[in-house]
Amino acid sequence: MNEKQWTPRIVAFFCNWCTYTAADLAGVSRLKYAPNMRVIRIMCSGRVDPQFILEAFAKGADGVLIGGCHPNDCHYAEGNYKMLRRFQLLQRMLKDMGIEEDRLRLEWISAAEGEKVKTVMNDMVAKVTAMGPLGMPGRFADWDKEMEHLEAAVATAEAGQPAHSHSQQEVKHA
């Protein structure tokens, strides 16, 4: 049986002024890097809404890479600092969701660092490949089943309560 080998799907949000330009430089320079990235050009890393990252994982991405200008070199003055704060928040949130830390990565890459783009992309693909598929759509299905089970348990428990039980609102005001 000829089974297709799994390869990770990685979404990359690259700042227009630095990281995207560096990726272009890497391509023009014919540097070899893994083809697993789907690059989305944004004007500034500070414009990446955390919802974009969560949506990428929810739609089946195995990893997300964010590339921005080096600190104190942002075209929009402090967009990269805004991204850094969001990144730290997202790391905690994803950890609570059971998503490995290396599946989300933030890198500062200037327009002249085509070689760094290649290195970062290849390194991330290697790490995510070693971790295996994230499978968020499947996890959502499992979570939905857990919620259905919980709803059924709550409905059963409520059905078993005496008819004269007080609602939580009435109990609070008593």
Question: Dihedrals φ, ψ of 58, to 5°?
Answer: -65, -30
| Domain 10-134 CATH (choose: 1.25.40.340, 3.40.50.620, 3.40.50.960, 3.40.250.10) | 3.40.50.960
CA terminus-to-terminus distance, the chain: 69
Contact of 26 with 115, CB cutoff 8 Å: yes
Residue whose tokens read 């709550």: 154
pLDDT at residue 171, rounded to an integer: 45
- Concatenated DSSP letters for 92-132? HHHHHTT--GGGEEEEE--TT-HHHHHHHHHHHHHHHHHH-
> How high is the pLDDT of residue 162?
56
Predicted pLDDT of residue 160? 80
For residue 25, the model assigns a pLDDT of: 96
Q: Name the stretches of the chain with pLDDT < 50.
A: 1-2, 165, 170-171, 173-174
Domain ranges of the chain: 10-134, 139-173
Q: Give every CB contact of residue 43 below 8 A, 6+ residues apart in sequence.
A: 15, 16, 17, 76
37 with 66: CB under 8 angstroms?
Answer: no
